[in-house]
Amino acid sequence: MSSQAAGSSSGGSGDGGAAPRRNTRKPKYSKFTQQELPACKPILTPKWVISVFVLVGVIFVPIGLVSLKASRKVVEIVDRYDDACIPANTTDKLAYIQNPTISKNCRRTLKVPKDMDAPIFVYYQLDNFYQNHRRYVKSRSDTQLRDSKKANDTSTCDPESTANGMAIVPCGLIAWSTFNDTYDFVHNSKNLTVDKKDISWKSDREHKFGSDVFPKNFQKGPLIGGKTLDPNKSLSEQEDLIVWMRTAALPTFRKLYGRIHTDLKQGDTITVTLENNYNTYSFSGKKKLVLSTSTWLGGKNDFLGLAYLTVGGLCFFLAFAFTLLYLIKPRKLGDNNYLSWNRNPAGR
C-alpha cells in the first residue's frame, strides 16, 4: 500500500517535468530599478566645490548690488498722523474717534526730500492690524460678491450677515471694516488730483466682483465699521473696497489709495487735508500716509538686494575657507575605480 502511494507520488511529480516555482518577492533585475541608468555623478573634489562657491558669489553679489541700488533710488515720504490728528485737549482717543458729531479734519504738511517723478503712488499703512485672523478672513461671501442672484447667501458672513432682518451686500467683517480715511493734496496752491482708477487687480474687478452687484443695506447696523459705499455703483467699480478685501498676510501692510501724475521737486511743500475717520485706537494700531515713487524693481524694499549680497558673500567666504583648508591641510583623494558605479556588476 505504501509502495503504491509512493509510486503515485513519484509519478505525479514526474508529470510536471519542471522545477518547482520559488516564492520570492525579489524584483526582476533592471537598470532602472537598480538605479544604474546613465547619469551625471560628479565627484565633489575640492577644486569643484571651491569653483562652484566662487561662481555663485560672482553671480549673486552683482545682482544684490543692482537690486539694492534700485531700491535706494525710490523716494518715500512716510507720515504717521493717528496721534498727531488728535486734538491736544483730548484725553479719551476712543471716545473722540467714535463721536460722529466731532469734526475729524486734520491738516498735515509734508516736505519733499528729493525729486519725485510721476507717477507717485499714494498708500495708507496700518500697523498692528491682523487681517490674516482666521475668523476675519472667512467672514465674506465670494458668491454674493460675484452674482446678484446670490444676495441672500450670507451663511459665511457672521457676525455682519444681516441688518434689520435683511441681507447685507457686501456682507462680512472684511467689507464692514473698509478703510475710510480720505486725503486731499495741495501743491503750490493747486490741488493735486489723485487718480483712483485701476488701483485694484484687473482679475479681481472682472472675476471676483460682479458688475451687476450693488451695495444694499450696508453699514445700516447699530455699529458702523468703516467706509460707506455708493449704492448706485456696482461692486466692480468700487475699487477702494476691492483693494481692501484682498487681505494682507502680515499685521503691518500698505494698500494703494491712488496715484498722483505730477512731478515733485526737492524742497517742495505739500499740504494734506485728511479726515481721520478710521478707528485704530481700540487696538493700539498706527496709521501712516505714504507717498512713494517706483523703479523697475518696484517700491522700496532692501530685502532682496541684501539677501543676494548675504548669500554671495557667504559663498565667497566658504570658497576662501575651503581654499585655505585645502592648501594648509590637503587630503588625498581615494581611487575613483572603487566607486560602485565604476565597477561592473557581477553575476548578471
Q: Supply the DSSP string of 270-318, one letter for each residue.
A: EEEEEE--S--GGGT-EEEEEEE--BTTBSS--HHHHHHHHHHHHHHHH
pLDDT (0 to 100) of residue 14: 47
Please, are residues 99 and 222 in contact by the beta-carbon 8 Å criterion? no
Radius of gyration of the chain (CA): 35
Give the mean pLDDT of 241-255. Answer: 96
Most confident listed range (16-30, 73-87, 326-340): 73-87
- SS3 state at 179: coil
- Name the grid cell of 309: 549680497
Name which of 256-260, 308-312, 324-328 the model is least confident about. 324-328
Average pLDDT over residues 191-206: 94
Coil, helix or strand for 237?
helix
Q: What is the dihedral of CA 199, 202, 208, 211, to 10 degrees?
A: 90
Instruction: Give ∠ CA 10-15-17 in degrees, rounded to 5.
Output: 105
Q: Average pLDDT of 75-88?
A: 94
- Taking the model in full, what pTM does it have? 0.80
pLDDT at 346: 53
Q: What is the mean pLDDT of residues 247-251?
A: 95
**What are φ and ψ of residue 326, in 5° steps?**
-70, -35
In the block, residue with C-alpha cell 479734519: 105
Cβ atoms of 107 and 280 closer than 8 Å? no
Task: Please say if the pLDDT value at position 5 is more than 50.
Answer: no
Note the pLDDT tens digit of each residue in 277-305: 999 999 999 999 999 999 999 999 999 99
| Ramachandran class of 188: left when φ > 0, alpha when ψ lies in -120 to 50, beta otherwise | left
Q: Which of the residue ranges 18-32, 144-158, 197-211 would you say has the lowest mean pLDDT?
A: 18-32
Q: What is the mean pLDDT of the chain?
A: 88
